[in-house]
Structure 1
Amino acid sequence: MQLKAVLLSSSILSIAHAWSPTNSYAPATVDCADDLNIIRAADGLSDSESSWVAKRDAVTQAALKTFLTRATSNFGDKSILNSLFSESSNVPRVAIAASGGGYRATFGDAGMVAAMDDRTDGANDHGLGGLLQGTTYLAAISGGSWFTSTVVFNNWTSVQDIINQMGDNDGSIWDIEQSALSPGGTDTAFTNQRFENISGALNEKAAAGFPTSLADVWGLAFSYYFFPSLPEGGVGYTWSTIQETDVFQNAEMPYLIQLGKAQLPGAVGVDFSSPTIEVTPYDFGSWEPSIKSFAEIKYLGTEVSNGSPVTPGQCVEGFDNVNFLIGTCTNLIEYVEQANSAYYNAVIDQLATLFLGNSSSNSDRTLAIYSPNPFKGTTNYESGSDTTFVTEDKLLLVDGGIDGQVIPFIPVMKEERGVDVVFALDQTADADDLFPNGDSLVYTYERQFTEAGKFDAFPYVPDIESFVELGLNKKPVFFGCDASNLTDLSYVPPLMVYLPNVAHSFASNISTLQLSFTAEERLDLIRNGFESATMGNFTEDPDFLGCVGCAVMRRKQEKLGLEWPEECQQCFTNYCWDGSTKDDIKNTTNISSTVSNSSTTTTTTTTDSADYTTILSTMNSGELSTIHFETSTTITCHECEQSTASPTVTYTTITKECQECEGGFTEVVTTVSCEGDEATESDTHKYTTVSSWTTTTEVCTECEEMDAMASAGISSGAKVTTEVQVTSQAASSTKSSTKSSTMSSNDVSEISHVSSISIPAVLQVTTGIPSQASSSSSSSLYSVVINENTADRLSFQGILTLAAAVVSFVGLI
């Protein structure tokens, strides 16, 4: 049976009273208790959430025991499990924070979560299967909200189920071969009908007395791809529906939290002082000083005074429309407009005229409008706070990541939720190559020292430059490993397992506003997400599963004073950030782990007369890498497998001039043999570098010997990617273009590094889609690149193309 048929018969559609009373996009007035108050103070969890979490704890306890038993199966001493599961209060509590980043985030987050889901093919053998079943909270923001909304509001379906029915132009979930802004492609009749449906929905809401904006349009347009089996993309589907589903009532899924950001009327943006709004199965509101209240989500749209309906016994239902709330949590339209481009402004003007009519020039046209304001007249805010959010008739919301916090840490780091470990899925595109650079972590760390974040805590992280130079954005990293180092914060926050988007089998640095993908490309992104979460399905580190288990157990182990397994000690040496920064690396000769009492690495730098840096590093057999201090790349000798049996191995890494490669490189990094230093005096081109933990081979056009070696390495399954960089005359006289060995010569528009490694096949499909990486990258009419971590720093490419495309589709109507 196709998944869409299954969904049609699911419990979601059988709960008629949980849908909008009008069975449409329009809210309506219903009877409610005369003494109802829909507002509570943000002084703890709601009774509803607390009761639900207690029920979920009983489910996660069994799942985590199974997962941790598998993760620690190779440990010499497993007694810690007996202690953790001897009492329910000792069991760790897990959360996942799924980042934003457009469809890149939707599919990358999906792949990472699939790696944790025991319903995914291969997840128990080559992944973190079962961890999702042991997770209590699932938070998301922006493009990550597209992912979480899809699986949650399709009756907690799995990524594997979606993949199994994935196709193009067949109406399946995530069938986005055609953009939401041109859903029919060349079929203008289809596009016209889709936009007529959207216009009709907006008119119904407006006729019921509620304002609309382009945020409504955004949510309605995209929801067709998330709920294709529901009438008009779930046009009457309400958020509070989730409360009535069996899968939620039985606590068989994590507790969903999605984020928006409140913006002051007339303001041109948001910052840390702007309240973060949580959207959960029960609540809608903020912990922050200027609101500090939560509304019962089912009754959004009700005109209230300090939480009580203005007309006792009369409430509104249906305002909590799933499409509208998705549009709220992913709303970037205002910030496209802020680019102040004549082309973009013309496009947005035409969209507003088309869908909003007389409201097209309204100053709020790009914002999600919550009117009436559920917090009007409330008194829970802190004295001295800006009272605008509790005095205005309307509450205006934008994408929750606009202030730079594109990973939704705030809700899952709250002390009230008692989380022990947070898995941070980072699909942001803030580095120049559109991969993560740690921005979101730094911003959330900084926020805790502001007025808005004074009740929150977040583990220490390095500055952005150090984050990149240390290569922390290129592999999993644990932050906050030692609770004793965090006692000067408001409270000890959860340990964070950082999982960044890294190109393993696919060039996953896709522009945030690429809006169309083939089924093959979607699968490639999902599979690459799986690999990013599992160190290449454990091919890069067979012990990574055990290390994840250690991260899950750490806070409870510290609290209970349990003996720390030797294997966990080694894992923390390998994966925990030790507090080093770029300056420490340049200035110190002794780098030791903050967790380990025994230093395993000593690094010394010297400079010779040839003006190049030589790094001598003595490491244990599990750490076969050194860090090149001048370029902050990790250098690995893959020709030295025979040395791994030795307890210590010494490497020498030398930067030399490549005289024979005119027109190629001016500098080449050479890795000599582990057996001796004779090769250092040779001019032969035998060198391998790993740039930020991604194995690459730099090839000069005249270095035919290296070409042969690279080809042999790839054919034999070595962890090597053939990479050619070409120097040409351009800005600053240099422009590099990088081609992965898995891609054709004309399909890379962003700099990408893809490791060609032997990875077990997972996430197979039933529609004949190839299991290997795509040989081509898609190109979207929208070639816009938005740096979602800095709202006022937008970079746009191909403006003329974009404007022409959007104006063209608008002209179809």
Structure 2
Amino acid sequence: MRGFSLMRATHILESRTQLPTVGITVSGGGYRAAIFGAGVLNALDGRNSSSVKKGTGGLLQSATHLAGLSGGSWLVTSLAQANLPTIQHLVLGDGHHLGGWLPESNLWSPSADPAEQAVFAQEILQELAIKAEHFPLSVGDTWGRALARRFSNATTSDTFFSNTSHGSGILFPDLANPSQRITICAIMAEILAENTANFSVLINETYPQPALRHDTSNYPNPFHSVTPATFSDSQETVLALCDGGEDGQISPLQPMLVPDRNIDVILAIDGTNDADGFAAGASLIATQERMQIFVRGLAAFPPVPPTLAGFANLTAQPTFFGCLPASHNGYDETRPAGPMLVYLPNGAPSRDGSPPLTNTSTFQETYTADEMQGMLAQTFTIATQGAEVDGALEDGEWAACLACAVVDRARARQGVKRSGVCGTCFERYCWEG
């Protein structure tokens, strides 16, 4: 299969209204997760000739929903705000209006020059003052303004310490890219524990707000007085938000389970740090456990192993969850329940023998351009190699297998059973519990 052609993969579907609905999630994990997520999206981008040659390019353009959490939200927000450029230009800059992510300097101490550092702090306080006129403040606002200087396409190394917009003033409805049909879900609600105390004191002294916490992200309640019987914070005027990964759900899977979104398949990019900088499945387990408690109003979450030990052989390659048809639960076999989950973890080094580059610390705040490029290249290999088959380092059918997973629910709606290469692929990649 040359390039990921959704129309080619769905030639058996009768109309475009029956095409699959694809969601992509990017986990948290600081810069590591942002870079790993960027590398995977690069491998799915139809504008990348290398991705097209591998057969995976084009799936990004076929997606309808894109969600990021924590470090993953840095990528997703940056991508949307920059009008969906290529990943190479987004991360490393294009030499013109895109400055890249500027990872060489520390997030909180970007300059060794005391004068420049003072300008940095003063500018953030001035920006907070504008918000303080109308909205509550928190450490999250300080963190967000620091992040904006890295992930906003309005900032370059030349304008970093100047009084520029640093991302403000961009209207998302103005996006002209054909991929604007993707629904973006990436709220930058971030707290870095080691800086919380100092900035909490700073904000409390500068902008006293005795009724509010400062170690969260305070956001005006958009659901005020809505369904008080079922929403415990309905009467609160301000919601205190924390990082979504605080309960272990470091992958933003729950937004993809909203029934009205009708998601057929979720591509879960997992760049978390469960062990030695690699993902081991903990975020999926946390979502499964939460879904067993809070199931009202959400689509079924595909079963995953309940322990990390169960993921032991599932993180060195992509894995499909939710392959069993609904007949497994007593329903018609052509109508599976809930979306399929394609798990794309940063779970092991690439198989080409090169030293691992993608398992950096969540708290590493600076990277050189060469380090970023190396991580992107290695992630591309991880995302396009598939499983090891008969001693071969790459699965020559991985692109076709990915296409089979994407269209599986749509085919099932028409009563089309798996056959041919799809049958082989599901035997190779499915976890059936």
- One fold, TM greater than 0.5? yes
Q: Distance in 1 between matches of 2:106 and 2:327?
A: 48
Q: Is the 8 A contact 2:89 2:100 kept in 1?
A: no
User: SS of the residue aligned with 2:218?
Assistant: strand
Q: Distance in 1 between matches of 2:3 and 2:258?
A: 22
Q: Is the 8 A contact 1:64 1:134 kept in 2?
A: no
Q: Is the 8 A contact 2:90 2:98 kept in 1?
A: no
Determine the structure 2 residue equivalent to 1:545: 399
CA shift digits 1:552-604 (9 cap, x unpaired): 1211222212253311111111100021xxxxxxxxxxxxxxxxxxxxxxxxx
Q: Which runs of 4+ in 1 moved over 6 A?
A: none
Determine the structure 1 residue equivalent to 2:349: 503
Q: Is the 8 A contact 2:154 2:166 kept in 1?
A: no
The alignment status of 1:123 with 2:51, answered yes or no, reads yes
Shift of 1:415: 2.1
Identity %: 31
Q: Distance in 1 between matches of 2:373 and 2:176?
A: 29
Shift of 1:486: 6.1
Q: Is the 8 A contact 2:257 2:300 kept in 1?
A: yes
Q: Is the 8 A contact 1:531 1:537 kept in 2?
A: no
Q: Distance in 2 between matches of 1:531 and 1:456?
A: 33
Determine the structure 2 residue equivalent to 1:658: none
Does the C-alpha gap of structure 1 residues 476 and 149 become closer, same or farther in structure 2, counting only changes over 3 Å? same
Q: Is the 8 A contact 1:95 1:421 kept in 2?
A: yes
Residues matched between the structures, number: 412
Q: What letter is aligned with 1:155?
A: N
- 1:651-730 correspondence to structure 2 within 5 Å: none
Higher helix share: 2
Does the C-alpha gap of structure 1 residues 164 and 375 become closer, same or farther in structure 2, counting only changes over 3 Å? closer
Q: What letter is aligned with 2:358?
A: S
Determine the structure 2 residue equivalent to 1:461: 304
Does the C-alpha gap of structure 1 residues 171 and 565 become closer, same or farther in structure 2, counting only changes over 3 Å? closer
Does the C-alpha gap of structure 1 residues 127 and 159 become closer, same or farther in structure 2, counting only changes over 3 Å? farther
- 1:645-656 correspondence to structure 2 within 5 Å: none
Does the C-alpha gap of structure 1 residues 151 and 187 become closer, same or farther in structure 2, counting only changes over 3 Å? same
User: SS of the residue aligned with 2:241?
Assistant: strand
Q: What letter is aligned with 1:477?
A: T
Shift of 1:147: 0.3
Q: Distance in 2 between matches of 1:488 and 1:564?
A: 19
Determine the structure 1 residue equivalent to 2:143: 218
Shift of 1:426: 0.5
Moved more, 355-364 or 395-404: 355-364
Shift of 1:365: 1.1
Does the C-alpha gap of structure 1 residues 405 and 375 become closer, same or farther in structure 2, counting only changes over 3 Å? same
Shift of 1:235: 5.0
User: SS of the residue aligned with 2:154?
Assistant: coil
Once superposed, what is the RMSD of the aligned Cα atoms? 2.9
The alignment status of 1:441 with 2:370, answered yes or no, reads no
Q: Is the 8 A contact 2:84 2:179 kept in 1?
A: no
Shift of 1:93: 1.5
- 1:126-525 correspondence to structure 2 within 5 Å: 126-162=54-90, 165=93, 172-184=99-111, 186-206=112-132, 208-229=133-154, 234=165, 237=168, 241-247=171-177, 252-258=180-186, 325-326=187-188, 328=189, 331-333=190-192, 336=193, 344=194, 348-359=196-207, 364-371=213-220, 373-378=221-226, 380-381=227-228, 383=229, 385=230, 387=232, 389-431=233-275, 433-451=276-294, 453=296, 455-469=298-312, 471-485=313-327, 487=329, 492-501=337-346, 502-504=348-350, 505=354, 506-525=356-375
Q: Distance in 2 between matches of 1:448 and 1:349?
A: 33
User: SS of the residue aligned with 1:392?
Assistant: coil
Q: What letter is aligned with 1:179?
A: N
Q: Is the 8 A contact 1:100 1:141 kept in 2?
A: yes
Determine the structure 2 residue equivalent to 1:571: 425
Among 8, 11, 35, the alignment partner of 1:82 is: 11
Shift of 1:377: 2.2
Shift of 1:187: 2.1
Q: Which runs of 5+ in 2 are unaligned?
A: 156-161
Does the C-alpha gap of structure 1 residues 361 and 550 become closer, same or farther in structure 2, counting only changes over 3 Å? same
Does the C-alpha gap of structure 1 residues 473 and 82 become closer, same or farther in structure 2, counting only changes over 3 Å? closer
Shift of 1:361: 9.0
CA shift digits 1:531-566 (9 cap, x unpaired): 221127995111111110111121122221225331
Q: Which runs of 5+ in 1 are unaligned?
A: 1-62, 73-80, 259-324, 337-343, 580-813
Q: Distance in 2 between matches of 1:251 and 1:544?
A: 24
Shift of 1:357: 2.4
Q: Is the 8 A contact 2:33 2:72 kept in 1?
A: yes
Higher strand share: 1
Shift of 1:356: 4.6
Does the C-alpha gap of structure 1 residues 393 and 67 become closer, same or farther in structure 2, counting only changes over 3 Å? closer
The alignment status of 1:108 with 2:36, answered yes or no, reads yes
State the TM-score, normalizing by the size of structure 1: 0.47
Q: Distance in 1 between matches of 2:70 and 2:216?
A: 14
Moved more, 505-514 or 107-116: 505-514
Q: What letter is aligned with 2:71?
A: G
Q: Is the 8 A contact 1:368 1:396 kept in 2?
A: yes
Q: Give 1 or 2 for the bigger CA radius of gyration.
A: 1
Q: Distance in 1 between matches of 2:315 and 2:296?
A: 25
Q: Distance in 2 between matches of 1:171 and 1:65?
A: 28
Shift of 1:423: 0.6
Q: Distance in 1 between matches of 2:247 and 2:165?
A: 30
Does the C-alpha gap of structure 1 residues 509 and 577 become closer, same or farther in structure 2, counting only changes over 3 Å? same
Q: Is the 8 A contact 2:139 2:216 kept in 1?
A: yes
Q: Is the 8 A contact 2:47 2:86 kept in 1?
A: yes
State the TM-score, normalizing by the size of structure 2: 0.86
User: SS of the residue aligned with 2:245?
Assistant: coil
Q: What letter is aligned with 1:189?
A: A
